[in-house]
Amino acid sequence: MNLIIDVGNSFVKLAVFQEDEIIFQSSVVENAFEKEFKNFLKKFSKVDKCIISSVGNLDEEALKLIKHSLKVVVLNAETKLPFKNLYATPKTLGVDRLALVSAAVQQFPKKDVLVIDAGTCVTYDFISAENKYLGGAISPGIQMRYSALNNLTAKLPLLKKEMPKNIIGNSTDSSIHSGVVFGVLNEIDGVLGSYKKKYPHLTVILTGGDANFLSKQLKNSIFANSNFLLQGLNFILQHNSNE
C-alpha cells in the first residue's frame, strides 16, 4: 500500500492506494496533521511507502515523524519522473504540475494530453505523444479573479463564485459573475482551440477544485477527474519504487 500526502496552502490531504485504486482519503488542517497521521498508522499498518508533495509548508517535526515511520519520497525537481521534462526552468516547476503530467502519462500513454487544473490558479500542462513535457501556462483562478476585483478597486464587492444566468450582467454583482466566470470559460475554450489546431487528437483533462463547477459549461470535450493529482503522485511513487 502507498500513502500519498499532498500539502496545500490550507489543508493536508492523505490518500491510500492499493496498487492504482484509492481505498482511503482524508483532509485535515496542517496543525492537526500529526494527530491524524498517528491515528492513520494504527489503521493502515500495511502501508510502507509514502510520497510527499508540498506547495505549502509541512512542519519539520511532522516531516521527521513521517520519515521515521515510512519509506519516503519527497517530490522535487530532482525526483525521477516517468516523462522527459523539457521545461526551461525545471526547478521552478510546481510539484503539483509534475504530478498532473505523471497521471496523464500513466492513463493516456502515447497521446497528446493537455491537463487543466482549475484551482487557485488555472494551470495548463502539455505532454506530447512522445512522452515529452513541453510546458503550458498559468493564469488566475476563479476566486483569485473575484478577489482581485475587490482588492484592486475602491467599490467593487467581494463575491462568492456563482454561475451567471446571462452573459449580459444587469447589476454590478451579475456583471462581476459574468466577467469572472465567462472569462475563465472562454479562456479555457480558447486555449483548447489553439492546442487542437496543432494537436488535432488532443486529450483534455480537467481537474482541481473548480473542475465540476466549470466542466458542464465548456464547449470542448473533456474528461473531468478530481483525483488526477493524487493518481499522478501514486504513479511517481511507483516509478521510483521500481528503480
Q: Catalytic residue positions?
A: 96
210 is in an annotated binding site: no
Structure-block grid coordinates of residue 154: 475602491
Backbone angles phi, psi at 122, to 5 degrees: -100, 115
38 is in an annotated binding site: no
Backbone angles phi, psi at 207, to 5 degrees: -140, -175
Question: How many CB atoms are located within 10 Å of the residue 10 CB?
Answer: 10
CA distance 213 to 118: 10
9 is in an annotated binding site: yes
178 is in an annotated binding site: no
10 is in an annotated binding site: yes
57 is in an annotated binding site: no
DSSP string spanning 23-78?
EEEEEEEGGGHHHHHHHHHHH-TT--EEEEEESS---HHHHHHHHHHSEEEE-STT
180 is in an annotated binding site: no
Query: Residue holding cell 509534475?
Result: 98
CA distance 86 to 132: 7
133 is in an annotated binding site: no
11 is in an annotated binding site: yes
Q: In what order do the strands lie in the sheet with 49-54?
A: 21-29, 11-18, 2-7, 49-54, 71-74
24 is in an annotated binding site: no
| DSSP tally for the chain: helices H, then strands E | 8, 11
Alpha helices (H) in 78-169, listed in sequence order: 95-107, 142-151
Q: Of 117, 157, 164, whose CA–CA distance to 141 is shortest?
A: 117
Amino acid letter at 149? L
20 is in an annotated binding site: no
97 is in an annotated binding site: yes
173 is in an annotated binding site: no
72 is in an annotated binding site: no
Annotated binding site for ATP: 6-13, 120
Annotated binding site: 6-13, 87, 94-97, 117, 120, 172
Annotated binding site for substrate: 87, 94-97, 172
